[in-house]
Structure 1
C-alpha cells in the first residue's frame, strides 16, 4: 500500500526533501548573482535527488501498488551526466570568470543520446498492444535490459573514472599554481574542492563494488542496494550545504592567466647565478627586508612585482631560480623569520603566538602552524620552549 513510511523510505524521504530545498536555494542565488558554479551544482544535486526520489517512492510501495509504472524507462545511468557536471563545477570555480559556452555542451552528448534512445523505445513499446497493463514493454526487455544495460554499466564506470581522473588532475595543478601567485593560499576554498572530489570518488568506489558484487557474485535486492542510496542522499545534503555556504567566488575572481615558471633547481647552482643577475636577487631581498611587504596577508605575485618594478615573469624567475622557492614559500619564510624576531624581542609576553603570527602576515592558525613546522621542523610552541632552554 502506498505510501508506506518505514525504516527504508522515511530517511530517504527526509533527505530528498532537504536536497530539493538546497537545489532551490542554489538556483535562486544563481538568478541573483549569475555565478555559473551555483547553476552547475544545482543541476548536479537535482539529478542525484531525482535518483533518490525514484528509489524513495519504491521503498514507499509505489511500484508494488502501481505495477504498470514505467519508471524503468527513465532511470538512465546518471553518472554519464554527473561526471561532466563534477568536472565543470571545479572548472567554474578555478577558471577566472568562467562562463558556460557551447563547447561545454559536448560533455553531455552521452546522457542526451541515452535520453533520446530511451524515449524512442518507450514510444515504440507504448504503441504495442497491452503496454498499459505491464511495467516493461517488448523493446525494454529484449533490447534494453538484455543487451544495452550491461554495456551501459561498463560505459558508466569508464566515463566516471575518466572524468574523476581529469578533475583531480585539474585540482592538483590549480593548487600548485596558486602557490606561485599568493602568499596565503585559499585553504578553506581549496579544502572544499578536495572534499567535494573525495565525496564523489568514495561514492564511485562504493557503487563500483556494489555493481561488481551484484553482477558477478550474488544477486543484490532492493534492500541491499538501499545503503548506497542512503549514502548518496547524505552526500547530496553535505555537498549542497558546503557548496552553498562556501564562497567559491574568491577563487573564480583570481587572475591566474599568467603562468610562472615552475621551480627548477639545477645541479650546479652557480649556473643559475650566471643567468640571473646578482643585483636582481639582492634588490628583491632588500625590498623584503626593508619594506616588509610580507606583512600584508593578501600579498600576491602581481603586487610584489609592482613594488619591485619588474614583471611578474621576471619576479617569478628570480624567486624560483634565485631563491629556489615558489612564491608562497618565499614570502612565508620572511614571515617565519619575522615571527622569530618578535619572540626574541619578548613580544609573546604581550600577545599570543597566534596574535604575533597575524602581525607577521599570516591569515589563519592552520596555515601558520603548517608553514612554521615545514620551515623549522618545530611547532611554534616547541620553538618558543627551545629558545627558553
Structure 2
C-alpha cells in the first residue's frame, strides 16, 4: 500500500515541480515582507500560498493519494481557492497603486465568504465525524447528500461571479492608475506597469479557461481527471511566473508617486466651450520659454507638480495649458521635448561618441523600452531608422 504513493508520472511530476517552485518564492516573499514591511509582498505571498494549496491537492491526486488511501478525508479540505485569491488580487494591486496604503479593518470583509465557507466545511466534517462508520469511508453522509450535490455547484457559480467582479474592479483600478501616471509624470514606469498588466492577464486567462472547461464538462462532454490536468498545469506555470517576477520586480516606487492633484477630466462639449475662450497665450509662451531655457525635461523624474512650481503656476492651470494649449497630455508634452533634444544631438553627431540609448538618457529618458516606444509614437520611425536617414 505504501509503495503506491507517491507515484512520479508524467502528470504528477510537472505539477510537483511547479508547486515546489511556487512555495519557495512564496516564502522568499514572506521574508522580503518581514525585512522591508511592504504589504504588497505579503498579499503576493498569500496569493501564492493559497494557489499552491489548491495545486498541491490536485498534485497528490495525480500521485495516487486517493487510490492508495481510500478512506482519506482530504475532500473536506478541498475548495475553489478563487474565493480567497480574488480579493487578494484586488488588494495586491490596490496596495501597489495607492500611496501610503494601509490595511483597514473593513478590508477583512473581502474574506467573509471564505471564512463562512471554511466554518461550514468544519461543521459538516464534525457532524459526519460522529456518525458510525465514518472512519471507513472517504466521504460522510453530509458530504455526499448536501455538499457535493448542492453546495459545491452553488460555490462554483459564486466563485466565478466573485472572480469576475474582482477582476473587473482590479482592471479598472489599473487602467485608471496608468492614465493618471500619463497626466502626472514624464516617464511612465513601464517595467512596473507591465508587471501589473501581465499579472492581471495571467489570472484573467486562468479564469476564462476554468469557465470554459467547467461549461464544457457540465453541458457537453464530461471531462475526466486527466483532461482537467491542463488547467492545473497552466495554474502551476502561473504560480511559478508570478512568484519569480513578483519577487524580483520592485513596485515600491509606484507607491511613492504623489497624486495629490487630479487634472480635471473634460468632456467633448466642455472642451469645445473651453476652446472658444482658449487658454492664455501668455501662459503658453511662459511654458515654451521655460522648456526652452531651463530644459526641465532633462530630469527623468520630472512630474506635473515640479513643473508647476518652476512655472509659478497652479497645477490645475499648468495641466489645462498643456492639454488645451499644446493639445497633449503631460507625458507626451514632455517627451516631445526629449525627442527634439535627441534629434538635435544626432544632428550634432553626438552618436559618434555615445550610443543611441546613451543619448536618450542624456535627453531625460529613463529606459530603452520607454524611449523606443515614445520615439516610434511621435515620429512614426524607430531611432535606428531616424539615424540612418539623418546620416
> Per the shorter chain, which TM-score range?
over 0.9
CA distances 1:177-217 after superposition (whole Å, capped 9, x unpaired): 00111101100000000000011111111111111111112
For residue 138 of structure 2, the aligned residue among 127, 132, 135 is 135
Partner SS, residue 255 of structure 1:
coil
Distance in 2 (CA, whole Å) between partners of 1:215 and 1:57 is 24
Q: How does 1:230-309 map to 2 (within 5 A)?
A: 230-262=233-265, 271-272=274-275, 274-309=277-312
Matched, 1:382 2:364: no
Size of the aligned set, in residue pairs, is 388
Please tell me whether residue 325 in structure 1 is matched to residue 333 in structure 2. no
TM-score for the superposition, normalised by structure 1: 0.95
Residue 216, structure 1, aligned to residue 219, structure 2: yes
State the partner residue of 1:155: 158
Aligned to 2:118: 115
Alpha carbon RMSD of aligned pairs, Å?
1.7
Q: Using the alignment, how far apart are the partners of 1:266 and 1:122 within structure 2?
A: 62
- Which residue of structure 1 aligns with residue 191 of structure 2? 188
Cα distance between partner residues in 2 of 1:271 and 1:331: 23
Q: Which residue of 2 aligns with 1:54?
A: 57
Compute the displacement of 1:275 (Å): 4.9
State the shift of 1:107 in Å: 0.9
Matched, 1:314 2:332: no
| Separation in 1, partners of 2:131, 2:377 | 71
Counterpart of 1:101 in structure 2 is 104
Distance 1:281 1:38, change over 3 A: same
Q: Comparing 209-218 with 244-253, which one deviates more in the overlay? A: 209-218
Structure 1 residues without counterparts, runs of 5 or longer: none
CA distance in 1, matches of 2:46, 2:10: 28
Q: Contact 1:76/1:115 (CA < 8 Å) preserved in 2?
A: no
Q: 1:74 maps to what in 2? A: 77
Q: 1:266 to 1:307 in 2, by over 3 A?
A: farther
Alignment gaps of 5+ in structure 2: none
CA distance in 2, matches of 1:287, 1:272: 23
1:71 positional shift: 1.2
Residue deviations 1:29-61, cap 9 Å, x none? 111111110110001100010011111111121
CA contact (8 A) 2:278 2:324 kept: no
CA distance in structure 2 between the aligned counterparts of 1:8 and 1:221, rounded to whole angstroms: 13
1:351 and 2:357 are equivalent in the alignment: no
Match in the other structure for 2:366: 363
Report what 2:37 is aligned to.
Answer: 34
1:273 and 1:322 in contact (8 A); partners too = no
Query: Quick one: distance in 2 between partners of 1:141 and 1:87?
Result: 34
- How far apart are the structure 2 equivalents of 1:337 and 1:244? 37
Cα separation, 1, equivalents of 2:224 and 2:56: 18
TM-score by length of 2: 0.95
Residue 87, structure 1, aligned to residue 90, structure 2: yes
C-alpha distance in 2 between matches for 1:113 and 1:163: 19
Q: Report SS of the residue matched to 2:184.
A: coil
